[in-house]
């Protein structure tokens, strides 16, 4: 006997301003209950310490969660100088204290920060969710087990010093996926010579969404108490896929791609993912393979409804 999914069909993306102290999954379950949704997921965990932009996917939009996870991110972080913690943030115990260099000004910091701009190699924190033999690294760390982690390439598009105060500094970072701000702050602290850890972290950009797009749970709960529908807060999945070019199909090729079949078109498209539309409706993502005679479009992630969300 097949299991019945509890909840209603809800399709789209909701951008949440995650509060401090809750896990990403914790806020996801709260919002899922508010919608009474059958299927939902988030697009990459934020630490309980962190706040800010967290896109949540419902129904058909969950097909694009990995693509959203792969997007660039931006953060504002506050670093405490002179203290290193076991986790790289204020949730861990202090393991080392060192004096902050005297005369630490923006002019002194700029050349140090410049080392971390552009393409860099970064060793992930042992307290990250990266997996080793099927288990997240933080589980090993909590048992006192150190796992060797190879450095990974990441790109820091921008790293701006916003403020410096005694033993704290605020920085703004825009970076590729997989960048660990805790590790970045720790490395900057070592470059300064005193160590550092994160005491506040706010994500300001994810999957093309900013804080201006975000909603908070108390506001949504107030809407429910007023018997107002929350569905109007949702946006369609293609709102998170604007980094890919679009192409519109009609006729037999549209029917074929909706049936999951690769199609050939005369247009010359660049190789890579393409947002496919039929009439006014979003169909899904296809991968384009151009050649001398046109382009082959191979469907990758299609919405079951043919685009009507």
CA distance 106 to 266: 55
For residues 48 and 21, the answer to whether their CB atoms sit within 8 Å is yes
Catalytic residue selected from 47, 89, 238, 281: 47
Residues 246, 247, 250, 255, CA torsion sign: negative
Q: Which residues of 171-184 are buried (b: 16+ CB within 10 A; e: fewer)?
A: bebbbeebbbbbbb
SS3 annotation, the chain: CCCCCCCECCCEEEEEEECCCCCHHHHHHHHHHHHCECCEEECCCCCCCCEEEEEEEEHHHHHHHHHHHCCCEEEEEEEEECEEECCCECCCCEEEECCCCCCCCHHHHHHHHHCCCEEEEECCCCCCCCEECCEEHHHHHHCCCCCCCCCEEEEEEEEEEEEEECCEEEEEEEECCCCCHHHHHHHHHHHHCCCEEEEEEEEEEECCEEHHHCECHHHHHHHHHCCCCCHHHCECHHHHCCCCCEEEECHHHHHHHHCCCCEEECCCCCCEEEEEEECCEEEEEEEEEEECCEEEEEEEEECCCCCCC
The answer to whether residue 291 is catalytic is: no
What amino acid positions are annotated as catalytic residues? 47
């Amino acid at each position: 006997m097949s299991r019945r999914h509890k909840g209603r069909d809800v399709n789209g993306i909701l951008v949440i301003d995650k509060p401090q102290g809750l896990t990403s999954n914790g806020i996801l379950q709260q919002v899922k209950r508010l919608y009474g949704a059958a299927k939902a997921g988030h697009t990459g965990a934020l630490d309980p310490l962190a706040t800010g932009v967290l896109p949540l996917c419902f129904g058909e939009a969950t097909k694009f969660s990995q693509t959203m996870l792969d997007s660039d991110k931006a953060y504002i972080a506050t670093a405490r100088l002179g203290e290193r913690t076991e986790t790289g943030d204020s949730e861990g115990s202090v393991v080392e204290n060192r004096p902050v260099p005297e005369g630490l000004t923006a002019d002194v910091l700029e050349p140090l920060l410049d080392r971390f701009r552009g393409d860099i190699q970064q060793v992930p924190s042992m307290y990250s969710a990266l997996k080793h033999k099927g288990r997240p690294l933080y589980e090993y760390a909590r048992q006192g087990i150190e796992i060797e982690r190879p450095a990974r390439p990441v790109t820091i598009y921008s790293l701006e010093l916003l403020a410096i105060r005694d033993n704290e500094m605020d920085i703004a970072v825009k970076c590729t996926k997989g960048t660990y701000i805790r590790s970045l702050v720790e490395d900057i602290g070592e470059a300064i010579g005193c160590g550092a850890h994160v005491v506040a972290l706010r994500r300001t950009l994810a999957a093309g969404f900013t804080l201006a797009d975000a909603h908070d749970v108390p506001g949504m709960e107030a809407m429910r108490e007023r018997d107002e529908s929350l569905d109007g807060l949702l946006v369609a999945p293609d709102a998170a896929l604007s980094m890919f070019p679009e192409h519109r199909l009609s006729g037999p090729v549209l029917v074929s791609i909706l049936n999951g079949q690769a199609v050939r078109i005369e247009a010359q498209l660049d190789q890579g993912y393409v947002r496919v539309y039929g009439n006014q409706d979003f169909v899904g993502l296809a991968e384009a393979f151009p050649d001398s005679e046109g382009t082959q479009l191979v469907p990758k992630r299609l919405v079951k409804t043919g685009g009507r969300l």
